[in-house]
């Protein structure tokens, strides 16, 4: 609990903002019923009572239907437009973690129907970091997560209206998530100030002319502090310049004068990355510095006017020396509205010049490069023109965002950089592709829990959630299709003889379950029709074609509604070709890489298949990546009696699209 002195300092932050600071300065168990809590996001854009979560997703209404929005180039989105009296207490925003994006998005705030903005600042600088370079840290004003999760805590009171907008001033689109938490208040102090913020940049500064942190403001107000960015242009020490605060009529000399740049942010003897509640440096890397100072316990209030500057000075053999560097600032203060217009915001080009490289095309995240990510999208979206590839750190995954045009339409795709797969594609705002997830194929049904290739094994596989069930299809002497892996009945029934030499009636006399366990005594060899009926609409068949007639197999598949996405394995090349031709593309062959482990061009030339069969002996992450880059899916076989769980995890991590296994229950 703060002592009496510190409490008084907090309450002086803005003498009239005691209600706004009540959350921090009063015990949390006190219930203030004069406050009405509200929150705005894309799920409730008006903040209306009982109006949130009404949009629909694939799961239905109210199931995360509108968490985010894509801003097109030049688009302005209204983040909030609240009538009445209240205080914005917290803002959370996340977007693409790219310097050009964080400098290209501009936040503007309009208080109490004033026509010009009181806040006009690039999003990244307003939310706590210079140069668009995100670093994770926490202060009294900002809480920043490592993947551009940005939180802002300064209270923002309003009497009549609070209107916040975000403009996308960059030439490419931008994905945005946000939430604004506020309270409607029955009463605000008469002389409560409104939050103001501006952004300035001089690249480079003018020699012997101090950089203005806050150009002159008239009237009354409270200087809260600033976020300073420095890109030093010479290798020598840059931070000898003093911060000067000119108050209430000061002209040539200031009332408040510091001792050095690093001193102003609470550090000493040069600059170090060190973040604290009210001051510190949150970036000092590769010539880029970001540092901040918040005058919360040490208020700076003006009664007539204020101007704040910082010098650009360095060490020299003969003493101090003047210098030029690239300086930027986001400055925060409170003053009443109506207020004077802010200085002109630098253009997008001026704001984004000389920023850190976000992701050069030769660098990579995960296992693939940006160029390879573009190739993956091109294989999924033929004839597209990729314009930009950037890093999209979201949901804890290393993702690439790939943007461009196809036949005049804009598109955006997300690529999993760790598993080399396209996750989704939007075309002109409509989703045209979504990865359906890893598909699990039950080898001969759930053959560890029921007799292989029986209706019982198929039903059990479906119950366990298998997406695909592999089944070996043979043909009897009298032309019926049945399921049996071996060419004879000997191993999996209590009979004997070759399937091709027996009629269906003869085969059905034998027990196909007792060999497995007494529980399945009486199970029969199923017909292909019975097997497809057992699948229902819960899973698709994966056909291992033995001696069966391709035309009969296709007829049966069509009769049961399996017209597309049926996978096929067959060593007989003529039968395989016939299956593909007869199905009009509904059957997808999965050829083995018998032409050589890395001879994917040979497979493509001969079969142009949508997927490739990968035996465990030839499995590797690089091989999966090569398959994906060739525009195909990887069908990985891990069926064995040993290490099934380990193999399945390895295949998943490598990016397998299908995994065929014996132990579906794993």
Q: Is the bond into 42 cis (omega within 30 degrees of 0)?
A: no
- Give the pair of three-digit tokens for residue 387: 């314009």
**Catalytically annotated residue among 142, 196, 375, 443:** 443
User: Which ranges constitute the DSSP H helices of 299-416?
Assistant: 348-352, 370-380
Query: In b/e form, how buried is each residue of 452-479, taking b as 16+ CB within 10 angstroms?
Result: bbbbbbbbbbbeeebbbbbbbbbbbeee
The CA-based angle 403-624-599, given to 5 degrees, is 110
Which of 639, 636, 640 minimizes the C-alpha distance to 652? 636
DSSP 127: T
Joined together, the tokens standing for residue 613 give: 């069969």
E strands, 448-537, are 468-475, 481-483
DSSP category for residue 358: S
Q: With contact defined as beta carbons under 8 Å apart, do 305 and 214 qualify?
A: no
485 is catalytic: yes
Cβ atoms within 10 A of the Cβ of 318, count? 6
Structure token digits, residue 418: 């760790």
Provide the token pair at 393: 């750190």
Where is 506: in which H helix or E strand? helix 504-507
User: Contact, 415 vs 399, CB < 8 A?
Assistant: yes
Cis omega (within 30 of 0) on the bond before 81? no
Residues 6+ apart with CB under 8 A from 514: 494, 520, 521, 522, 523
Strands 194-202 and 119-122: parallel
Active-site choice (90, 485, 538, 560): 485
What's the rounded Cα separation, in Å, for the pair 152 and 358? 24
- Would you say 108 and 337 are in contact if contact means Cβ atoms under 8 Å apart? no
Check if 639 is active-site: no
Identify the burial level of 276 via C-beta atoms within 10 angstroms of its C-beta, where 0-12 means exposed, 13-18 middle and 19 or more buried: middle
* Letter string b/e over residues 54-63, b meaning 16 or more CB atoms within 10 A of that residue's CB: eeeeeeeeee
Hunting for tokens 């693939």 — which residue is that? 368
Q: Which residues pair with 247 in a beta bridge?
A: 306
d(CA 107, CA 126): 8
> Which residues have C-beta within 8 Å of that of residue 373, sequence separation ≥ 6?
389, 400, 402, 415, 417
In contact, 215 and 343? CB cutoff 8 Å? yes
Known catalytic residues are: 443, 485
């Amino acid at each position: 609990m703060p002592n009496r002195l510190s409490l008084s300092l907090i309450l002086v932050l803005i003498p009239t903002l005691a209600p706004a600071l009540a959350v921090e300065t009063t015990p949390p168990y006190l219930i203030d019923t004069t406050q009405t809590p509200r929150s705005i996001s894309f799920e409730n854009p008006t903040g209306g009572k009982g109006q949130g979560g009404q949009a629909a997703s694939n799961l239905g209404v109210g199931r995360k239907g509108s968490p985010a929005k894509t801003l097109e180039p030049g688009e302005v989105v209204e983040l909030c437009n609240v009538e009445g009296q209240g205080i914005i207490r917290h803002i959370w925003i996340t977007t693409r973690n790219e310097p050009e994006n964080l400098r290209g998005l501009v936040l503007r705030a309009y208080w109490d129907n004033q026509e010009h903005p009181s806040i006009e600042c690039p999003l990244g600088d307003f939310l706590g970091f210079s140069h668009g370079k995100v670093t994770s840290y926490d202060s009294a004003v900002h809480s920043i997560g490592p993947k551009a999760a940005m939180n802002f805590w300064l209270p923002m009171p309003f009497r009549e209206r609070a209107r916040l907008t975000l403009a996308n001033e960059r030439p490419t689109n931008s994905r945005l998530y946000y939430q604004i938490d506020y309270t409607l208040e029955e009463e605000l102090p008469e002389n409560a100030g409104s939050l103001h913020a501006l952004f300035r940049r001089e690249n480079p500064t003018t020699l012997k002319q101090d950089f203005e942190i806050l150009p002159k403001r008239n009237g009354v107000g409270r200087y809260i502090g600033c976020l300073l960015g420095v890109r030093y242009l010479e290798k020598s020490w840059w931070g000898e310049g003093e911060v000067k605060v000119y108050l209430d009529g000061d002209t040539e000399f200031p009332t408040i004068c510091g001792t050095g740049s690093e001193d102003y942010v609470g550090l000493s003897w040069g600059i170090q990355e060190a973040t604290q509640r009210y001051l510190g440096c949150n970036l000092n890397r590769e010539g880029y510095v970001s540092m901040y100072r918040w005058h919360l316990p040490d208020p700076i209030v003006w009664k007539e006017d204020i101007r704040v500057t910082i010098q650009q000075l360095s060490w020299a053999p003969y003493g101090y020396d003047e210098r030029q560097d690239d300086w930027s600032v986001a400055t925060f203060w409170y003053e009443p509205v109506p207020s004077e217009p802010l200085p002109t915001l630098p253009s997008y080009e001026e704001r984004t010049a000389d920023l850190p490289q976000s992701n050069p095309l030769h660098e990579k995240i995960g296992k693939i490069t940006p160029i390879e990510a573009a190739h993956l999208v091109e294989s999924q979206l033929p004839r597209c023109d990729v314009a930009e590839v950037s890093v999209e750190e979201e949901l804890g995954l290393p993702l690439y965002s790939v943007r461009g045009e196809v036949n005049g339409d804009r598109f955006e795709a997300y690529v999993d950089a760790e598993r080399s797969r396209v996750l989704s594609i939007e075309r002109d705002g409509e989703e045209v592709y979504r990865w359906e997830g890893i598909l699990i194929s039950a080898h001969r049904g759930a053959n560890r829990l029921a007799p292989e290739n029986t209706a019982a094994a198929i039903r059990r596989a479906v119950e366990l959630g298998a997406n695909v069930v592999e089944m070996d299809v043979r043909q009897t002497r009298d032309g019926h299709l049945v399921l049996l892996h071996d060419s004879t009945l000997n191993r999996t029934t209590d009979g004997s003889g070759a399937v091709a030499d027996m009629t269906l009636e003869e085969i059905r006399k034998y027990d196909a379950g007792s060999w497995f366990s007494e529980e399945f005594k009486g199970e029969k060899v199923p017909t292909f029709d019975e097997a497809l009926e057992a699948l229902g609409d819960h899973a698709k068949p994966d056909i291992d074609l033995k001696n069966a007639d391709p035309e009969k197999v296709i007829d049966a598949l069509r009769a049961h509604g399996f017209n597309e996405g049926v996978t096929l394995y067959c060593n007989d090349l003529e039968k395989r070709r016939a299956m593909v031709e007869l199905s009009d593309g509904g059957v997808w062959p999965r050829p083995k890489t018998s032409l050589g482990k890395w001879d994917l061009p040979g497979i493509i030339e001969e079969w142009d298949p949508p997927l490739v069969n990968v035996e465990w002996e030839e499995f590797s992450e690089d091989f999966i990546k090569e398959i994906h880059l060739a525009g195909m899916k990887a069908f990985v076989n891990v069926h064995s009696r040993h290490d099934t769980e380990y193999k399945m995890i390895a295949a998943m991590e490598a990016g397998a699209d299908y995994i065929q296994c014996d132990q579906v229950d794993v």
